Structure 1
């Protein structure tokens, strides 16, 4: 039984719903929901996951069972550090000044640069979780210093985004919302419309999957109103709107926003814009990667492989490369004839960013589904090794 299947059964029983009642509320067949619950079928897209969560009146995060029990030492270190990060996010507002002195500005700035130039691009979750609490504290102190105020506030916007994105990926419900509120406060103190718009995009992007309609509305608002001098925000807002539409099964709207994002990307010289550091990575390469993700969401299956042909992956961060290989792998694994290439894509993603892959619910569901096929078809050692490293137990 998968994480989702196990949690589905637990929550459904707690709600006092029969399998047939829950299936009716989720809009899927009774037999299919039973197969998911027993671990015989995967949950392979956001629309299905969020539909089941809505039927059970819980967050999708509760249904996935995140945060997952650590499978490797780095994942255990990440979870151990998250208490301090959560306390820092909830315990201090922007404008409040911690009473412990910071390190010299040069040391703080060096860590901030390392976060953006190394840790986030590589999806080193353990090092991020260890660094972020102290970095937030020190930037709050420097935000009250006239000589460093603007740099510190700009840094806080990005560090809060890093915190929210990490919390969302690991499944710490509620913390992404807190991080976005802190981003908004820092951007408001800056008074810069560019950063205010970037924060508004982050609000839409990190919104819980329980309200895709609201996510879509917020993303479209940013796409329509963000300052023209930074097209990256308008482009990313269109990508977020595309994902929100795809998660609702609206393929035409999703493709319209993908086309709008692609048009914005053509106005930017590099394939990947360096602004803002590690937050967006917007450009032609990222639009192509999102096409793959949204194609998987819309059920294109192995056909998403066509997006791999012309993507310049070397121009984008390791994190985004890993995201591409995960989604390509998911698409290829959905069809028997391309399963070997699908597994190779997931293994490639794992080599690039293991923690990112191990905590991806859809990668875990795909691997669990392949394990079931492997038991029937005498599947291979590589698949079992990947499942073991992810902490995905074989279906029994």
Structure 2
């Protein structure tokens, strides 16, 4: 594919968390940052143009979304995911994580059981623990370099009084696109045991290799789906996301919780950026996915050749690669030390995603092929004496 709409941007000196703060945050020097989940790809030009047009208007007062934004979201869900929703089922929030926290407070009480599937995105843990709920884990199983669900354990824990299940679909950090069979089984079990589902589907638009994402709400309307253009179109700093609930009582309770928190809407730039992304971004996204797929192949071929005791959980979605270093037989602290001091590369430590992440790292490959190659060379340098 001719990726003519994709530009790799130099981000140093822009206040970028990823590039300008890695050395301090990782306590290193000259680190190559391949950690936090934003990309080095310039946004679709229509998004930038929409922002410029809005900035050229010299007043930045309170704003509300136009109907055209709702239409863009509705059309995107239909075209991309074959999912029919309407305006009343959409609520705009500042991010998936605030929405998870709001849902926990809206639908559970302190001490209630909230289930996750580890290893998983770190804020799942903090949202549960900081709100004084009881964390229940349904650990995923690694089989044939894929993450799979332990359904016996899943059902047993639902039976044991779980009130809320937080699903990560596609999975972060593992990159799994759950099959329709998996989504159906989880949806039906949660329906059987009257467990509300909060589904983090922020990576749903970034499916690789033709994998198809199934929103769990299509199979169980007793759910809240959390999506955003932030990962898809690299606009996370604009803090724009959406919650979708087909059940009006669930939507009413969720929006009521946001009002309790004093949240009344997005910033004035988030709305036009979101609308432009969902209206015009499909072609750009195809090219971005092509870049990511090529980078996945670089990672897998390099590691298979140069680091044979290391395993790659090949992602089916997103620009994040879950790398299994357990074959090196060293501790998490030694892994981190070698990456920072020897390899001079900043990767997300696996233990950040829970105990099941011990011995792993997560690499962000939403960047140029040259950066990926440099990162792989640094990864090799970190562990070459152990191979």
Instruction: Tell me if TM exceeds 0.5.
Output: no
More contact order relative to length (CA 8 Å, sep ≥ 6): 2
* TM-score of the pair, normalised by structure 2: 0.30
- Counting helix residues as a fraction of each chain, which structure ranks higher? 1
